[in-house]
Structure 1
Amino acid sequence: MIEAVKLWNEPNNMSHWDFGLDADWAIFSRMVRLAGAAVRAENPRLPRVLGGMAPIDVSFLRRMEAQGALDEVDVVAVHGFPLDWNHWQLDEWPERLAEIRAVSRHPIWVTEVGVSTFGAEEVQEFGLRRTAELLLDQVDRVHWYSLYDLPRAWPATTRHREAEGSSYYRHFYMGLLREDGTPKRAMRHFADYTPQLGICQWFHFEDHRLDDAVAWLRKMGVRKLRTGLSWADSHRPGAEAWFDRQMRALDGFDVTLTYCFTPGSRGLKDHHTSPPQQVEEFADFCARMTRRYAQ
């Protein structure tokens, strides 16, 4: 069921890794090396993916290489949202991939790509079809973000929240389904690209959408799913039961499982983006989850 594990998410984005506390990513690099080695010790056949770059940045990847972070991963991942947040155009995807290939000895996966319906559903409809044309023949994995709109009552995982203006609110319109579960225009095209095109859908702790999401994914013909298990959530009461329920529900999909988010009590700062006080604790979490779900 688990086809790969991913070590963190968007480490060069302040919304996911506080590089104010780790200015040169030295802590992150050591953490990834230890976590990658821990996963390899549990399952040497399991591909290990470096958390997707957002923005796509050659200099960041070079730093990861120089600091040894790539020694214990098998794939590098990139994320791109040119119709919403990036300062490049949708048709530049081949150029962005070529930039990474020129400096990387690893295969490249696109583990998040998507288009919001913030302005109009027709934009997402066009973006889905054009993205599939540009990417599906270029890389081994493409995961569309996401199945569901983010519920408006939940905060988006971003640094400055409403101070970001429209950039913040776009986070709430990335789904092929609205918050109430009704489909948007682009949904009618998605099955044209499955099973080659996958989905990235994060499930929050005890997420009420889990069973409905599984039903939709099967209806859409999705085979490849990216989701996550949160190290921070592992410190909640009932975490093990929730993780077991989530993973049972996803049986039958080829899952890329992301390990991410620092428990507040274990960070240099009380925040899920903080570097941990002891990077060995993240490696231990990765080993335990791999042992439990990816043997």
Structure 2
Amino acid sequence: MNKAGSRASDHQETRQFGFVEWFRPGEYERAEVALPDILESGASYLRTHLSWAEYLAPGGQQWFDWLIPRIGSEIDLLPCIHYTPPSLSRTGRSSGPPIDLKSYADFVDHVLTRYGRYISHIELWNEPNNLLDWDWRHDSDFLLFCEMVGGAAYWAKQRGYKPVLGGPCPFDPYWLNLMGTRGVLGVVDAVGFHGFPGTWDSEEASWGGWDMHLGEMRGIIDRYNADAEIWITETGYSTWRNDEIEQARRFIKALNVPADRMYWYSWCDVPPDVPVQEGLWFDPRHYHLGAVSHDNKPKLLARLLTEGGVKRLEEVAALAAPNIASGAAPIVVTGGSGFVGCNLADSLLSDGEDVIILDSLARSGVDQNLSWLKERHGGRVHPVLADVRDLLGIEAAFRDAKAVFHYAAQTAVTTSLVDPLEDFETNARGTLNVLESVRRAGKRAPVIFASTNKVYGALDDLGLVELGDRYLPEDETVRTQGI
């Protein structure tokens, strides 16, 4: 077996993964909340940035004096050292090359002296082909970058640490080969790769698949330093369309590619009032890359990892197999993994119907109901793991439906008061998406809308009597005809 194949095999056996999380100066409470949750997810690594510019700003050293030991004492920490202090930059910006290139190596040396006992690897810069991280207009041939990073990497190795070369985004094999010819690859222990398939349009045009890109990367690295590892230092998937199951699938895919480490970007969504590099709400996809929401609500990825790790994640992702024979006319049950939905589906399946179960699995444990249906009815159960808030994600499920039972909903009144926007998106917009999907299908399928017991109120005037193993209305007419 070749080196790449051996590494891939070892990687799949250990099944280790990490998260990326940038902490802004002063976010003591957020770091204290996030760290135990990240550990509970089963993560082995955490990548965060140690901004040279922020370190030299007022209060910066005190912040990192707290953050690096706090995280590094709990988990394998990869600090990414980037951003030139504007006062030391040739452009007056944090993305500009430093006036004295050696000053970057001096800062790396300072970091290793001050925090070295908490780290083994150190990442040198981030996305050097991104103008917001490295202004290559002032370094068009990357000579300045190579001298700056190469010198820092050489010195870090002399001190017994393992430097990691920051990954470009999108991947650029010509840039990587340039790093080899300039000698940078020869003084690093790992090379970073950034890739976000399915999220960024600019990347989709050049995305050839994990195997192609990492194979090309391995071939280049082997020419200059065959011992260097490949680390996926950033990959992720934005749930801006509420397609959380796709995020889980992409995580599994990234975990099984031939790389020595995988860092998922990110643990937590960016808060809606915080600007990203490009500006406040420059692109909504930036704000939904986390495994948990900005207010720390677990998405499907975080919940499943916390419940049972990668194995649990794979079990649930494997439930979705909506293969329906040509010409079939299934019945769609949205929210079909819930209590009422799965019992209705069981009845329909027992009558010989094919049933599409459309469910986001947002409620913990409902995947067990879906597994129960599959065990009882086999191939006539067709799970579609999607969210009714995602019109593009659900539309195909209704294409051949002969009838639709709509049970997908946010059911808790208390939740509707705490987060009325999410409640509206699920219950109102979600219902509209279902109706629109049926309309576009053109089959005139009837839609049976399940309301809620809340419309009946408390029913304080309804007398109940105990009959056998249940309580029933004492009024015989109500008992037989309903309310």
TM-score bin (small chain): 0.5 to 0.7
Answering whether residue 188 of structure 2 is matched by residue 73 of structure 1, we say yes
* Distance across 1 between alignment mates of 2:205 and 2:236: 14
- Greater relative contact order structure (CA < 8 Å, 6+ sep): 1
Structure 1 runs of 4+ off > 4 angstroms? 88-91
Aligned match for 2:176, one of 43, 55, 61: 61
Q: Is the 8 A contact 1:149 1:178 kept in 2?
A: yes
1:133 equivalent to 2:250? Answer no
Shift of 1:186: 2.1
In structure 2, relative to structure 1, the CA distance for the partners of 1:136 and 1:2 (3 Å cut) is farther
Q: Which residue of 2 aligns with 1:181?
A: 296
Distance 1:148 1:134, change over 3 A: closer
Instruction: Determine if the alignment matches structure 1 residue 83 to structure 2 residue 198.
Output: yes
Cα distance change on mapping 1:92 and 1:9 into 2, 3 Å: same
Shift of 1:127: 3.1
Deviation readout 1:221-269 (Å, 9 max, x if unpaired)? xxxxxxxxxxxxxxxxxxxxxxxxxxxxxxxxxxxxxxxxxxxxxxxxx
Contact 2:146–2:182 at 8 Å: present in 1 too? yes
Shift of 1:30: 0.4
CA distance 1:134–1:8, change in 2 (3 Å): closer
**What is the distance in 1 between the residues matched to 2:310 and 2:187?**
32
Superposed displacement of residue 145, structure 1: 0.6
Q: Which residue is 2:475 aligned to?
A: none
Structure with the greater alpha carbon radius of gyration: 2
Once the two structures are superposed, residues 20-47 of structure 1 have per-residue CA deviations (whole angstroms, 9 ceiling, x without a partner) of: 11111111100111111221232x2x22
Confirm or deny that 1:157 pairs with 2:277: yes
* Deviation sequence 1:168-189 (CA, Å, 0-9, x none): 3211111111111111122223
Q: Secondary structure at the match of 2:220?
A: coil
Measured at CA, do residues 23 and 91 of structure 1 come closer, stay the same or move farther in structure 2, by a change above 3 Å? Answer: closer
- Residue 4 of structure 1 is matched in structure 2 by 121
Matches within 5 A, 1:212-231: none
Q: Quick one: structure 1 residues 66 and 91, their matched pair in 2 at CA, closer, same or farther if it must change by over 3 Å?
A: closer
What is the DSSP-based 3-state SS (H/G/I as helix, E as strand, rest coil) of the residue aligned with 2:120? strand
Are the equivalent residues in 2 in contact too, given 1:12–1:53 (CA < 8 A)? Answer: yes
C-alpha separation in 1, matches of 2:133 and 2:254: 27
Whole-angstrom CA distance in 1 between matches of 2:288 and 2:152: 33
Counterparts in 2 of 1:185 and 1:89: CA distance versus 1, 3 Å = farther
Deviations 1:120-171 (A, max 9, x none): 233xx3233344235435111000110111122222124xx46x95xx3211
Deviates more, 1:57-66 or 1:100-109: 100-109
Counterparts in 2 of 1:107 and 1:3: CA distance versus 1, 3 Å: same
Match of 1:284 in 2: none
The question of whether the paired residues in 2 share the 8 Å contact of 1:82 and 1:89 is answered with no
Task: Report SS of the residue matched to 2:150.
Answer: helix
2:305 paired residue among 184, 187, 190: 190
Q: Which amino acid aligns with 2:141?
A: D
Which of the pair is proportionally richer in helix? 2
Residue of structure 2 in register with 1:26 after alignment: 143
How far apart are residue 58 of structure 1 and its match? 0.5
CA RMSD of aligned residues (A): 2.3
For residues 7 and 148 of structure 1, the distance between their equivalents in structure 2, rounded to whole angstroms, comes to 23
The answer to whether the 8 A contact 1:90-1:131 is kept is no
Q: How far apart, CA to CA, are the structure 2 residues paired with 1:113 and 1:34? A: 28
Identity of aligned residues (%): 35
TM-score, L = length of structure 1: 0.57
Match of 1:114 among 236, 239, 256: 236
User: Post-superposition shift, 1:15?
Assistant: 2.2
Matches within 5 A, 1:39-50: 39-42=156-159, 44=160, 46-50=161-165
Q: 1:102 aligns with which of 216, 219, 238?
A: 219
Encode CA deviations 1:86-131: one digit per residue, 9 max, x unaligned: 2259881111111111211232110111011111233xx3233344
Query: What is the total number of aligned residue pairs between the two structures?
Result: 185
| Kept after mapping to 2: 8 A contact 1:114/1:146 | yes
Unaligned runs of 5+ in 1: 195-295
